[in-house]
Structure 1
Amino acid sequence: MLKGISKLISPELLKILMEMGHGDEIVLADANFPAASHTQRLVRCDGHPIPELLEAIMQLFPLDEYVDHPAALMQVVPGDNVETPIWKRYHEILAPHTHVKEPFEEVERFAFYERAKKAYAIVATGESALYANLILKKGVIGDAEN
């Protein structure tokens, strides 16, 4: 344990966040996402819901301010009658950490899978909400933030 770092951030996840560079992406995957088959760097956070994990990560993780959308959501499949209230929660969590008015882009399901395969890592969570998958693009930290 360390001061100032959430107990939700495992040593493995902290290492991954530290290794990532500007423009690298990390996927926070819900419990239904095929995480193990889509990545070479898998971090297990089973049992943890994404919103709480996202809050902890955002205390450490700069979002990319040089792109229109530093975060991506898996688009609801057309015809799938599913509500996504978790997206509102994500917006509430990310809003204080970005100057971008609308930080999210919606990515078609299979395009999301392909993008996830290219991500630096996938964090497998216990999140049970449907369409709760989230991609974050890492930004930079300036001298004033060190």
Structure 2
Amino acid sequence: MLKSIDPMLNADVLYALRAMGHDDDLVICDTNFPADAVARQSVLGRLLRIDNVTAGRAARAILSVLPLDSFVDKPALRMQIVGEPDEVPPVQIEVQREIDAAQGGPLPMGSIERFAFYELAKKSYCVIQTGERRFYGCFVFKKGVIGPDAA
């Protein structure tokens, strides 16, 4: 164990989060996402896991150490529901709450069509699959920077 590090963040996930650079994308996905196949095409080239937790809990852990990019309008994206792109299901509301809490205020997610999400995920730095079983528990976070005066 490490002090001040969320215990959900295993060694493989911590390595990837640290290795990512500014503007790299990270995918958080649910159990139904074709995670292994997509992860093989990512920069890291293998699937990472945070098992037995919801997407919201995984997002909280990740955002405890990962800054979101402040140079883009939408540094967090959610997968749109097929045929209902404006509907926001409970799993996405939960992740939005975690983003807002980590940012200290509202930072609304953008949305992306399902197949466009798959293509973006293939170009991501890494894919982290959670234990989330609800549909549309899939997100992209763009890594930001930590300034020289930040702790």
**Structure 2 length as normaliser, TM-score?**
0.89
> Is the counterpart of residue 93 in structure 1 residue 79 in structure 2?
no
Count matched residues. Answer: 145
Partner of residue 77, structure 2: 72
Partner of residue 49, structure 1: 54
C-alpha distance 79-134 of structure 1, shift in aligned 2 (>3 A) = closer
Q: Which runs of 5+ in 2 are unaligned?
A: 40-44
Amino acid at match of 2:68: L
Residues 1-146 of structure 1 aligned to structure 2 (within 5 Å)? 1-39=1-39, 40-78=45-83, 84-98=89-103, 101-146=106-151
Q: Is the 8 A contact 1:38 1:117 kept in 2?
A: yes
- Between the aligned residues of both structures, percent identity stands at 38
Q: Which runs of 5+ in 1 are unaligned?
A: none
Query: Superposition RMSD on alpha carbons, in Å?
Result: 1.9
User: Alignment partner of 1:53: what SS?
Assistant: helix
Shift of 1:57: 1.2
User: Alignment partner of 2:132: what SS?
Assistant: coil
Shift of 1:48: 2.0
Shift of 1:16: 0.3
Shift of 1:97: 3.2
Looking at structure 2, the residues matched to 48 and 99 of structure 1 have their Cα atoms a distance apart, in angstroms, of: 23
Shift of 1:100: 8.0
- CA deviations 1:6-48 (Å, max 9, x no partner) are 1110000000000000000110110000000002131022222
User: Alignment partner of 1:28: what SS?
Assistant: strand
**Structure 1 length as normaliser, TM-score?**
0.91
Amino acid at match of 2:149: A
Extract structure 1 runs of 4+ deviating beyond 6 A: none
Q: Is the 8 A contact 1:68 1:100 kept in 2?
A: no
Amino acid at match of 1:96: A
C-alpha distance 73-83 of structure 1, shift in aligned 2 (>3 A) = closer
Looking at structure 2, the residues matched to 100 and 120 of structure 1 have their Cα atoms a distance apart, in angstroms, of: 26
Greater CA deviation, 15-24 or 41-50?
Answer: 41-50
